[in-house]
Structures are given as structure tokens and as C-alpha cells.
Amino acid sequence: MENSDIAVGLDIGTTKIVSIIGRRNEHGKVEVLGMGKAKSLGVHRGVVSNIMKTIESIQMAIDEAESSSGQKVTKVVVGIAGQHIRSLQHTDYIDRENFDEVITQVDIDNLIKQVYKLVMLPGEEIIHVLPQEFKIDGQNEIREPIGMSGRRIESNFHVVVGNVASIRNIGRCVINSGLELDDITLEPIASAASVLSEEEKEAGVALIDIGGGTSDLAIFKDGIIRHSAVIPFGGNVITEDIKEGCSIIEKQAELLKVKFGSAWPGENSENEIVSIPGLRGREPKEVTMKNLSKIIHARVVEIIDQVFLEIKNYGHDEPKKKLIAGIVLTGGGAELKHIRQMVEYITGMDARIGYPNEHLASGSDTRLTSPMFATSVGLLIKGLDKVSQAKELEEVVEEIETEVEIETTQGEIPSTPAEAIEMSDADNKTKEEEENLIEKEKVKPKQRSSVFDSFVDKLREFLENE
């Protein structure tokens, strides 16, 4: 890409593929430069089912974004979801040999690497390991262990697992589209970045992203992701039910759902009727609004029940795990009429609709304020965060190098050979300290970067060696 301040989010969904090009303005808001959208023809329930059609859709979305922004896209941040994604909780520990020294990032990395060695089911691989609270020598609820002292470091981990073949197929589609895979982010985490506030994450909140093929759940508490799940039902199954229940074609069923659909059947009377044109000169078909809302209601209840089961599995009923901020609904399914009231009725929790407009600069494309673009905007935000971290790293390294150069140039002139040898040893030691300091500073931003860095590196290596 021509401009290093720019990032691109690529959302490969079941119903649509969206690419957004953007940058941060002087106020820290996301300024969208271009957007492209194409119908997703090769993805089913978040999993690539036809590589050639998916590549074609990706290229269409990218071409539209490039033409509207005037920027050339080379790297993209891609979202990953699908029914193959699952999560689990795991506790692990390490005993430090150099326990007289303070805990560093290296110790945390060693603990995380140990979790990666967990044995998964055949065909599955750990995508990422997310540390939660730490315990040091029995001392609980430590958020930041670096700089502390102790022999045993223990932590609870949120482990995200996925099907290796499904993830590699997404990588192939991106690379065969002529793009570079810059990063991969779990889609519920991307959606959370665009619609949740830090206060909600701290208080406890469940984000439900109802997409076309799947419904993604991410639960946050004390500012940390605690649970995630993918429910293999989304807006498409509602459309399918309408199609079969009313004996109409899919295109008509989708239009009925969007224009007249409601998750609450009580508001419609039997005499409210929608007339649908017949095929090839056949008589128009009449559908009662009452019947339509009953069909939608039945499927929405099933989706919410499954999501609520996951929330209860997390332990929402326990006082310490209470989700004070309730539920935030986003995704295309969140636009269904009365779905918020339905969620509150079934779960007994407060709910609101999440719009991704909080982070967008004024004057942005009005389409992007819709909940259906929450994941796309979130992926762009993740990409821009990575750009900021890379610039921060460069500035830190430059500052260290400048300080060392100044110290070196201000050195004294040796008066004897012995003094010259002593000063040369000191210079070598200074260079060695400089290199160590730079390496340590490189570790810090990497820790804050995308949660999928290590997995992305392995995925890139695999695809390059094919």
C-alpha cells in the first residue's frame, strides 16, 4: 500500500464480503477512505465451501474499495469465525529457576508456549492462547505479573481452537486473490472493538453478533475476554424457514424478512396480509403478517436459547461472574424488528443494539453505521492498532539508538593503550546493552499486538511452502 498509515479490514462472511480501507485522523477517529461490498458466493456458515467463488467475491470487494479510495491494497486484516471455532478454559504454570530475578515477558512467553503443547482433537489446532489473571506463589488475581518476584507463575487461559483445513482455506483465498495476509482476528473480538466500550467490558457484557451463517458470542468481564462460542445458526436459517413455510423463493423470503419481519408475533393481527408476485404469470401469493412473525419468532427463540445456554455455561448466575452491562446485539440479525425486546424477555438481561459509529469520523459512509458492518469496522480498527504499534516500536528503537550515539560521541580520548583497551571494552558492552534493550522493547509492542500473531506466522509459512 502506498500510505503506511492506512489499514484494510476484510470480512469474509456467509452472505457478504466487505473490504474497508481507512486511517486514523488527528482526533484518533477512524476515517474511512473506501469501501467495497460483494455477495459471498462460496462461504457456508463461516466456512469456505468454494475457493474459486470466494476468490472472485474477494477481488470484487477489493476492486470496489480501491476505486473509491484511490489506494492500492496489498495487505489485509481478515476475520475468522465459522462453526468449527470453539474455546476452552485451561490452567497452567511454570516454575522459574532464576526466581531471584524479576518476572519478564520471556517468562510469560514460556508459559504461553507450554499451553500451545496441549493435545487437541484430530484436525484441530490452537489458534491462540489468551492469558487472564495470573497467580504468583499462591497470590491470586494479578493482572500484570511483569516486574514482580516469584518462583511459580500460574495463569488461567482462554484457548481458541479451530479446524486447521478451514483456516488454511481462508488463507489460500486471500493469497490467491493477490493479497498478503497481514493478520487474522477472531470475528467476535473484532466486533467488540467496534461496538463495546471499555466500561462495558470491565462491568461484564455478552456480545452477540448475529450474522448470515452463524451467531458469534464473546463474553467480557474485568476488561478480559472470558468466553467465546460460535452458534451454527444465523439470519440465513430464518430466511430458509420463511421460504419453506410460505412456499416462496429465497429472494422473496429475504425481502419479506427485511421489510416486514418481526421477532414478536403478538403485534400482528390475522387480517394484515402481504401479497407476493407469482412466478411466470402465476397468481400472487398472500402471506399473513401473523404467520410470517410466527415463523421468524420460532427460529429467533432457538438462536437466543442456544446463546443463553453458552452464557449460563460461562457462569453468569455466579455473583462474581455477573454481567452487569447485560447483552449487546450486533450483526445484520440485530436489525430484525423487536429482537432486542425478545432477547430481554428470554434472558431477563438488559440489552441494546451495538452500532459501530462511535469510532468513525464524521462524514463517514452512512452504511457503515449499521450493525451489519460491526465486524468489518472492527477488523479495520484492529489493522490500524497494529499500524500504531509498529510506529511506536520504530520511535522507541530510534530513540534508544540516538541516546547511545550521543553517549558514544561524548566519550573521552584515551591517553594510554591500556585506557584505550578499557574504553573499547566499555563501548562493546554499551553496544551489547543497546541491542538487548532494543530487543526488549520489540517484545513489548508485540505483546499488545493482534492476538493471532504466532498463528498467522505459522499459517504464512505453510502457505508459502505449498
**Residue 451 confidence (pLDDT):** 43
Rounded to whole angstroms, the Cα distance separating 88 from 165 reads: 20
- Within 10 angstroms of residue 133's Cβ, the number of other Cβ atoms is 14
For 289-309, the DSSP string reads HHHHHHHHHHHHHHHHHHHHH
What residues contact 235, with CB distance under 8 A and at least 6 apart? 15, 210, 211, 212, 257, 331, 332, 333, 336
| Short-list 248, 459, 208, 460, CA closest to 349 | 208
Q: What are the E-state strand segments in 251-365?
A: 273-276, 285-288, 327-330, 351-353
Rounded to whole angstroms, the Cα distance separating 225 from 191 reads: 13
**Residue 459 confidence (pLDDT):** 73
pLDDT in tens, 405-430: 666 655 555 555 555 556 555 555 55
Which residues, in sequence order, are bridge partners of residue 185?
A: 79
pLDDT in tens, 202-213: 999 999 999 988
Rounded to whole angstroms, the Cα distance separating 112 from 114 reads: 5
Higher pLDDT among residues 466 and 307, named by residue: 307
**Residue 439 confidence (pLDDT):** 54
User: Rounded to the nearest 5°, which phi and psi values hold at 337?
Assistant: -60, 135
Rounded to whole angstroms, the Cα distance separating 50 from 73 reads: 23
Q: Please answer whether residues 159 and 126 qualify as being in contact, where contact means their C-beta atoms are separated by less than 8 angstroms.
A: yes
Q: Within a 13 Å sphere around the CA of 65, how many CA atoms are in the beta-carbon half?
A: 31
| Short-list 108, 126, 106, CA closest to 116 | 126
Residue 312 burial by Cβ neighbours in a 10 Å radius (0-12, 13-18, 19+): exposed
What does the angle CA 258 – CA 210 – CA 230 come to, to the nearest 5 degrees? 150
pLDDT in tens, 113-143: 899 888 888 888 888 788 888 999 988 888 8
Q: Is 196 helix (H, G, I), strand (E, B) or coil?
A: coil
Helix then strand then coil, % of the chain, to nearest 5: 45, 25, 30
Rounded to whole angstroms, the Cα distance separating 150 from 143 reads: 15
| Short-list 19, 93, 118, 122, CA closest to 61 | 19
pLDDT in tens, 32-41: 999 999 999 8
Q: What is the C-alpha radius of gyration for the chain, rounded to an integer number of angstroms?
A: 26
- Between helix 105-115 and helix 417-448 the angle, nearest 10°, is 50
pTM (2 decimals)? 0.83
pLDDT tier, 460 (very low <50, low <70, confident <90, very high otherwise): confident
464's grid cell: 508459502
Rounded to whole angstroms, the Cα distance separating 30 from 361 reads: 5
Mean pLDDT for the stretch of residues 172-201: 91
pLDDT in tens, 355-367: 998 888 887 778 8
**Residue 445 confidence (pLDDT):** 44
Percent with pLDDT over 90 in the chain: 45
